[in-house]
Amino acid sequence: MMRRTPLFAAHQRLGGKVIEFGGWEMPVHYTSIIDEHQAVRSAAGIFDISHMGEVLVSGPAAARFLNQTLTNDIRKLQVGTGQYTLMCQPDGGVIDDLYAYQLEPETYLLIINASRIEPDWAWLHSQAQAFTTPDQLQLKNVSDAMGAVAIQGPKTVEFIHTCFSKPSTGGWSADSPTALAKNQVAQFSFQGKPVWVSRTGYTGEDGFEVVCDAGLIEAVWEDVLAKGRAHGLKPAGLGARDTLRTEVCYPLYGHELNENTTPIEAGVGFFVALDKGEFTGRSRLAQQKEQGAPKKLVAFKLTEKGAPPRPGYAIWSAGPNPEKIGEVCSGTQSPSLGIGIGMGFVTPAQAKAQTPIQIEARGKKCAAVVVAKPIYRKAN
Amino acid sequence: MSNVPAELIYAKSHEWLKVEAGLGTVGITDHAQHELTDVVFVELPQVGRVVKAGEACAVVESVKTASDIYSPVSGEVVKVNPAVVDNPALVNTEPYAGGWLFQIRLSAAAEVGNLLKADAYAAQIAGA
């Protein structure tokens, strides 16, 4: 049974082309991926991210529990801030990557991937049962009760403050959403009801994400669209979300991350706090950080005209006797650069920037080069 | 509403065919280009390749995905359109003109009878 977000009717009214994504019926685009991609890079776009999951973790032991369960150091947070973090198995394989926000002194909100809600919840539940002081901890899966949108792009700051009442009533103390710094989160009022607004996103652009009751999200969507249209805001689908994140090399669970891949291998070791004490997966991650990992995620771009790289395509070394050195996990035609780009895992010896490689599409090898991340960087 | 020119014939898989003097020109329909959205890469068959009706022999790629293009008829590829390789967007902007893909010398002209006339194809995509 396919699931729909509370914005499904809104997508239909806008003529969105609906596809299946991780068990959800979601709009892949409304006009075209390139059109929506350019809107976000040059003006603004609004995305339905209501399919993502939300888990509330609260109680006197919430921080201690999360620091044992997640890789980043939750003690770096204060009320009204968030961090990117990962949840690993004991062997370091990634169960999910997520955002953790501290909403109140003893309340944390986890934003998890849509496709991972069930495994995450099962894992968190089992970890909580094994926790030393379960009576000081409450976990609540509020995924079905919450809706969310992301408003992304350089023009977002021109209108986002007109959508919400000021000042904030929870989280970071801010006069308006535009007063939030990157990774800060605050509660504002929308039509008299509370919404959480964070300065975060998945596009490489400045932007905000809004989480609120599922019943309120359509009114938020309509209001933001109405106020942003004059600033170039367009509704944007999952297609543009994927090209935007690929250009800036943000990992997507199921592509760059999975249970057989560690955060170190996937290049997100920065979000693994080995110095914070024991946590699930620590020993393997510490060992990889010290001794190196068997595979490494690299970004690449084609250096000649060729088919856009796609997940599963083989990566070959360059030179007279090419060897298969890895596989593409994300790839597309970059709308910003006009060439094929992607990410893939290769052997560490081939992972240095400027290493020439080849991407095989339908039996044809195309010249490419390993590049530093991100592949696309905004010109200032 | 998609444009379905009356003078062409169509495959269920959304290719159009125009036959003149035993030569068939093949492209994808307006409906197909609209569904694929921005075409960013086109791969065409080698001239001289012999294909069967229904055989995948070209690839049209959008940002999101690669789609096989099937030859509506059997025969030998005698010409391909280099303009769509240089400028894949032609498939979107001129699907029935500058966006044609390849030309084939029909080896079994009777196969044309298996394809759809414009009204039948229009009915197919209206029901989709």
Whether A158 and A44 share a structural domain: yes
CATH of the domain at A336: 2.40.30.110
Tell me what percent of chain A is helix, strand and coil, each rounded to the nearest 5: 30, 35, 35
Contact B63 A307 (CB under 8 A): no
Q: Is residue A79 part of a domain?
A: no
pLDDT tier, A22 (very low <50, low <70, confident <90, very high otherwise): confident
Summarize pLDDT for A62-115 with one digit per residue, the tens: 999 999 999 999 999 999 999 999 999 999 999 999 999 999 999 999 999 999
Domains: count for chain A: 2
* Closest-CA residue of chain A to B33: A32
Structure tokens at A119: 């495994």
pLDDT digits (tens, 9 = 90+) for B46-58: 999 999 999 999 9
Average pLDDT (A14-22) is 93
Shortest distance between the Cα of A239 and any Cα of chain B, in A, equals 7
Domain ranges of chain B: 9-108
Task: State the residue range of the domain holding A327.
Answer: 295-371
SS3 at position A11:
helix
A354, pLDDT greater than 60: yes
A332 with B41: Cβ contact below 8 A: no
The one-character DSSP state at B35 is: H
Over residues B66-78, the pLDDT tens digits come to 999 999 999 999 9
**Token pair 């239909």 in the structure block, residue:** A12
One domain for residues A239 and A301 = no
Task: Judge whether A269 lies within some domain.
Answer: no
- ipTM rounded to 2 decimals: 0.86
Are B43 and A333 inside 8 Å of each other by CB? no
Token pair listed for A219? 């009114």
In angstroms, the separation between the Cα of residue A242 and the nearest Cα of chain B is 9
Same domain, A163 and A307: no
Q: Specify if A129 maps to a domain.
A: no
> Is residue A358 within 8 Å of A365, Cβ to Cβ?
yes
Q: Please write the tens of the pLDDT for every residue from B19-33.
A: 999 999 999 999 999
CATH number of the domain bearing residue A26: 3.30.1360.120
Position with higher pLDDT, A30 vs A166: A30
Residue A132 lies in a domain: no
Q: Do A333 and B66 touch (CB under 8 A)?
A: no
B38 contact residues in A (CB cutoff 8 A):
32-35
Q: Is the pLDDT of residue A60 over 90?
A: yes
Which residues does chain B have within 8 Å of residue A33's beta carbon, measured at their own beta carbons? Answer: 37-38, 62-64
CATH number of B9-108: 1.10.287.130, 3.40.50.720, 2.40.50.100, 1.10.1740.10?
Answer: 2.40.50.100
| Beta-carbon separation of B38 and A33 below 8 A | yes
Tell me the pLDDT of chain B averaged across its residues.
96
What are the phi and psi torsion angles at A259 (to 5°)?
A: -70, -10
CB contact under 8 A, B41 and A32: no
Nearest to B58 by CA among B40, B38, B44, B73: B44
**Are A44 and A160 found together in one domain?**
yes
Q: Which residues of chain B make contact with A302, given a CB cutoff of 8 A?
A: none
Q: Which of A19, A21, A29, A32 has the highest number of chain B CBs within 10 A, making it the mutation to test binding with B?
A: A32
Is A377 a domain residue? no
